[in-house]
Amino acid sequence: MQQERLQKIIAHAGVSSRREAEAMIREGRVTLNGRVVTELGTRADPDRDHIKVDGKLITKAEPHRYILLYKPREVMTTVEDPQGRRTVIDLVRGIRERIYPVGRLDFHSEGLVLLTNDGELAFKVSHPTHGSVKTYSVKVRGVPDERMIDKLRRGITLDGKRTLPCDIERMRTTGKRDDEGNSWFEVKLREGRTQQIRKMFQAIGHPVSKLRRVAIGPISDPKLTPGVWRELTKQEVKMLETMKELKKPVKARRTTARPVSRKKPAAAGAKRSAARPKARQAASRASASRSETRSSTRRTPSPRPATPRPKIAAGKKPAGSKKAPSRRASARPPRSSARRG
């Protein structure tokens, strides 16, 4: 038989999910032919090699079982509990195969839980990249503002990590008016952190009073009551197996052509910056030579010859000269020497 990865062999044997098998390998709980293995890429042949988990030999794969259970409140979603509290395995009687719960549902919550020994399907249902959406009915205290609900839809930071976007729809309120009493919401998550929904609404000041999981992907059953379980039908198993992996959103491409960048390579820029001082020096020299050439070719104006002034004899006036008119309009009359008697 062709060799396969250890975590896949462990999951097929119904010991745990593939994710849990990887954790077991890292912790050194898996041995291959008597040697402890801690590398996830280790391969083995399940028909020839001896593979043990916690000292127990893995046998051939068992027939797969798929159980849908309505978990009551105050029941642990684990195989065993160190404190002795009831677990979901205690509620499922008559199953000979080693089954385990897929995912988690906190101690004070109720609703649907899937139990199986099919490691591949358990990984697909529990991992958020495969599009497995869990639907919850949530009752919170008070009436949260729509702005705060939008904040939860986009995602908030819990325990240092941001939550994935989720769908939240307001269903009804318990008061007479929409802004009175408590509120019921339908929440759809693609991830399953510990008490995530409770922490989300606690962060906006509206703690959760009731939480019920009503669907796991396409699987739901409103007829189930707390503590009751049933086998999944072949059609339901096929619906879980054919869930497609979510594709990452592709960034939109620009439809218009990008403007041509005016930046030039760094080497060319360095050459230009180094050549600039030389060019400036050459330009200054050329301008200086042009100014010298202009100054040498410019004609200097010749001085005008001085015209000799004619000599004038004493007492004579030069010809052509006119007597300047007197500024006085009329001469004063002479004073009479005769005195009036």
> Which residues are marked as active site?
106
Tokens of 158: 């819990």
Give the count of beta carbons closer than 10 Å to the beta carbon of residue 28.
Answer: 10
What is the SS3 assignment for 293-307? HHHHHCCCCCCCCCC
CA atoms within 13 A on the CB side of 198: 13
Helix 119-126 and helix 234-241: axis angle, to 10°?
60
Cα–Cα distance, 20 to 184 (Å, whole number): 34
Long-range contacts from 80-89, C-beta under 8 angstroms, 24+ separation: 88/113, 88/115, 89/115
With beta carbons less than 8 A apart as the criterion, state whether 110 and 165 touch. no
Q: What is the radius of gyration, based on Cα positions, of the chain?
A: 51
Region of 107 (left: φ > 0; alpha: ψ -120 to 50; beta: rest) is: alpha
Cα–Cα distance, 186 to 213 (Å, whole number): 10
Q: How far is CA 340 from CA 75, 332, 333, 337, in A?
A: 158, 20, 17, 10
Residues sharing a CB contact under 8 Å with residue 187, sequence separation 6 or more, in sequence order: 135, 136, 138, 166, 167, 168, 197
Cα–Cα distance, 125 to 216 (Å, whole number): 8
